[in-house]
Amino acid sequence: MPRPTRTVKEQAKVDLSKIPAHVERVNVSGLLRTHNDYVMKAAEGLFKARNFQDLMIESMNAKSYLHELGIFKDVQVRVDVSKGENASPNGYEITLKGQELSRLVGSVGTEVGQNEGSLRTELSIPNLFGRGESVSLQGSYATTRANELQLRFWKSFFHTRFVENRPEVSLSLFRHVDRMDISSFQNANLGFLTDFSINSLYPFELTHSIQYEASIRETSLLAKQVPFAIREHCGPKLASLVRYSVIYDQRDNPVFPTQGLMLKSVNEYCGLGGNVAYMSSTTHGEISVPLIAGLVAQVCGRIGVIKETKNTTVLPISSLFYCGGPLTLRGFKYGGAGPVVDGTSIGAQTHWCTGLHLWGPLPFNHVFKGLANNFRTHLFYNCGGFNSFSAENMRSAFGVGLAFKLAERARIEMNYCIPVRKYASDKPVNGFQFGIGYEFV
């Protein structure tokens, strides 16, 4: 029988950093399909521990590292005094006991997209060849817009010496159908995508992603009477594009940040072969500053530009920017603050919008206790425009609303909006507006 193990609790009252300790052995058990070298990195930090506190911290790190590798369902850590002939008095033995994911993992769930909910099913084979390679087949069916089917293969390189940079490569075949009901067309996209993403640490942490996409985009109409300007775009086209996106995120919380800055930029160059050519760039920024008594001031902004290149014959209608909507320019319907052709909204070539928010906790915060942390109230003023960056063509609205945090990622907003500046062709919403998504202005 093994000697009684010392758990963290027993040692809690003692100053752990003064107890010398070093790790003599690290066992990782439960590896069935995984190759040993894939989990090697987990032990590295442990051997550096010189006292018991370090040892505890490092073993927690090792545990979370193993979780991140994405091969285990569950990981348990056991710390034991070292045994055997060569055991030294302060030597410890660490056993990381993992339970591997099964060969085939299926899941069904709901997902939040930009202003839509979707049902999503996924079937994946994790850890295909024993070094974190995975294949998944996922389908999602959304209430309003997009349907998607994707077969994806990805491999992460967390086990190499670039663990800090979190490199990951993926390759996917996809088909998604995007319905633009307000413009009465839909865009069916069938193609493949390769993606390489990596974090760079100096001078500050950035997440980069470089993608290449080749796809057949087929635009077709959804309604009987459609303006000719939209009808002209019908038919299949071949797009071949590179996309580079970079994210800088220093916020303390992705949904209700109290301080920090987030910047995200997506740039596309389309026209490497194929017969669609354009250049587009979208930048989204968000900065939050804490004020007194739990109040937070927030400024958000977004700019999007799509430009012709030398080869452009016509800009694809599906890549244009829609102005207005509960996630960007509140107080207008989705696409309701943009250009209009024969009474039908279509996208614009450039668009911008900014929002000023004053976030506050729910009144009578203490009554609701923990639940209240999921709620915020806000006052907002947002304005935006398209095709020019002057204030002339500007639409604006202000209002007050309640926001709810959904699973640390998404946000549901219920706002009472009062459009201030609007034009005759716009579709304003004067009253309650409901928005759900993860990236708001």
User: Under a CB-based contact definition with an 8 Å cutoff, are residues 363 and 372 in contact?
Assistant: no
User: Under a CB-based contact definition with an 8 Å cutoff, are residues 303 and 323 in contact?
Assistant: no
432 forms beta bridges with 416
Binding window for another protein (CB under 8 A); candidates: 108-116, 193-201, 217-225, 326-334: 217-225
Phi, psi of 325 (to 5 degrees): 135, 160
Binding window for another protein (CB under 8 A); candidates: 3-11, 133-141, 213-221, 331-339: 213-221
Binding of another protein by 216 (CB under 8 A): yes
Query: Which sign does the torsion angle of CA 389, 390, 395, 400 carry?
Result: positive
Binding of another protein by 272 (CB under 8 A): no
Query: 3, 13, 224, 366: which one contacts another protein (CB under 8 A)?
Result: 224
Binding of another protein by 225 (CB under 8 A): yes
User: Under a CB-based contact definition with an 8 Å cutoff, are residues 328 and 396 in contact?
Assistant: no
Binding of another protein by 202 (CB under 8 A): no
Q: How far is the CB of 167 from another protein (least distance, A)?
A: 31
Phi-psi group of 181: left, alpha or beta (phi > 0 → left; psi -120 to 50 → alpha; rest → beta): alpha
Query: 83, 231, 307, 409: which one contacts another protein (CB under 8 A)?
Result: 231
Using the CB atoms, write b or e for 143-165: b if 16+ within 10 Å.
Answer: eebbbbebbbbbebbbbeeeeeb
SS3 assignment, position 45: helix
Binding of another protein by 309 (CB under 8 A): no
Binding of another protein by 234 (CB under 8 A): yes
Binding window for another protein (CB under 8 A); candidates: 172-180, 193-201, 214-222, 408-416: 214-222
Binding of another protein by 222 (CB under 8 A): yes
Q: Considering beta carbons, is residue 226 or 417 the nearer one to another protein?
A: 226
Lookup: tokens for 351? 């668009």
Query: 45, 91, 254, 274: which one contacts another protein (CB under 8 A)?
Result: 274
Query: Which sign does the torsion angle of CA 282, 243, 279, 141 carry?
Result: negative
Q: How many CB atoms lie within 10 A of CB 14?
A: 11
Binding of another protein by 220 (CB under 8 A): yes
Query: 2, 84, 235, 370: which one contacts another protein (CB under 8 A)?
Result: 235
Binding of another protein by 343 (CB under 8 A): no
Binding window for another protein (CB under 8 A); candidates: 38-46, 215-223, 281-289, 387-395: 215-223
Q: Contact positions toward another protein, by CB under 8 A?
A: 216, 220-226, 228, 231-232, 234-238, 273-275
